[in-house]
Amino acid sequence: MEISYDLHIHTALSPCGHEDMTPNNIVNMSKLCGVDVIAITDHNTCENVEAVMKVASKSGLIVIPGMEIESREEVHLVCLFPTLEQVQKVQDIIYSHLPDIPNNRKIFGEQILYNDEDDQIGTMNRLLSFACDLSLDQVVQLCHEHDGVCIPAHIDRPSYSIISNLGMIPENIDFPTLEISRHNALEAYINQYPNHQIIQNSDAHDLGYIGSCNKTIDVAEKTLEAILKKLKTNNI
């Protein structure tokens, strides 16, 4: 069955995320746009994932718990997990490998924590949009150890992508699925990387971009487990 997805969405916890990216706003906009499944992927953290999942549980929207991890090579990776507990374990490990640099609010804005009522319950003082000291293959291994899938993010972008920073998709690392940004044509990358699944996400940092790619994926059933299984399967 074909389901509509947007698997790269930031909340206001990401330093580049707009303040309107609250749990209820994200869920409601996703529903308005006809999206069946989303993933919350803040920079190097999952602190707002639980609140979004609680809101979505009342709506029928599937929320995949995730993070956008930045590797030592400054490559962004969309990392998705089957449970909140798994992503929280990965978050704790990433925190231990993330430089303790204070957030400059005048430059990056607030990093806001929310509950499921959209109340601001705090802020993160540590700057989240920074590379951890784990290598690309170490991040992939960490995700696999916690039953997750690791997807190179926005490979078409001129910065913070595996292509821009490494010049290639390493053959020794298993990446069944690759992501492109909302700015390019999906078909061109499907033809360029025939052995990989190519997905296209909004990378939304404000509400107006949620669901903007209007893409679907064919899965066995409309469940979180079936979606992750599909993303872990390449086209070979």
205-219 residue pLDDT tens: 999 999 999 999 999
Q: What is the CATH number of the domain that holds 178?
A: 3.20.20.140
For residue 103, tell me if it sits in a domain. Answer: yes
What residues have CB less than 8 Å from 107, skipping those under 6 apart? none
User: Mean of the per-residue pLDDT values for the chain?
Assistant: 96
pLDDT exceeds cutoff 60 at 236: no
Specify the pLDDT at position 159: 95
236 in a structural domain: no
Q: Which of 24, 21, 4 is nearest to 13 (CA)?
A: 21
The predicted pLDDT at position 231 comes to 98
- Model pLDDT, residue 155: 98
What is the per-residue pLDDT for 103?
A: 94
Mean pLDDT confidence for 222-234: 96
Count of domains observed in the chain: 1
Q: What whole-number distance in Å separates Cα of residue 78 and Cα of residue 197?
A: 14
| pLDDT at residue 192 is higher than 80 | yes
pLDDT of residue 153: 99
Find the domain containing 13 and state its range. 2-231
- Backbone phi and psi for residue 92, each to the nearest 5 degrees, phi listed first: -60, -40
105: in domain:
yes
Give pLDDT, residue 234: 79
Strand partners, 232: none
pLDDT in tens, 108-163: 899 999 999 999 999 999 999 999 999 999 999 999 999 999 999 999 999 999 99
In the predicted structure, residue 85 carries a pLDDT above the cut 80: yes
DSSP collapsed to 3 states, 43-103: ECCCCCHHHHHHHHCCCCCEEEEEEEEECCCCCEEEEECCCHHHHHHHHHHHHHCCCCCEC
CA distance 98 to 43: 11
pTM to 2 decimal places: 0.97
Average pLDDT of span 28-47: 98
pLDDT band at 58; cut points 50, 70, 90: confident
* Band (23; pLDDT cuts 50, 70, 90): very high
